[in-house]
Amino acid sequence: MASKLRTDLQIADPDSFYEDLIALHKDLTDEQSALVNAKLILLLANHIGDRQILDEALAAAKKAA
């Protein structure tokens, strides 16, 4: 099956998004940060919806770890 997870750059201004991502966790405890990250993952995963893309993303994330 052809890969459906896009891994070429999709975000117009990656430096700015990265900055916002880090800023999201400003003043949060580790526990609060973990909660925010979990909510972010769930929101994005639901938006994507496509199970093949999600499975490929799960595998890609684990591989990098």
Residue from 12, 46, 62, 63 that binds other proteins (CB under 8 A)?
A: 46
The backbone torsions φ and ψ at residue 21, rounded to the nearest 5 degrees and listed phi first, read -65, -45
- Could you tell me if 48 and 42 are in contact, meaning their C-beta atoms sit under 8 angstroms apart? no
* Token representation of residue 5: 């997870």
Choose the stretch contacting other proteins; rule: CB under 8 A; options: 2-10, 12-20, 32-40, 56-64. Answer: 32-40
Residue 59: phi and psi, rounded to 5, are: -65, -40
| Least Å from the CB of residue 32 to other proteins | 10
Task: Give the range of 2-10, 12-20, 40-48, 57-65 binding other proteins by CB under 8 A.
Answer: 40-48
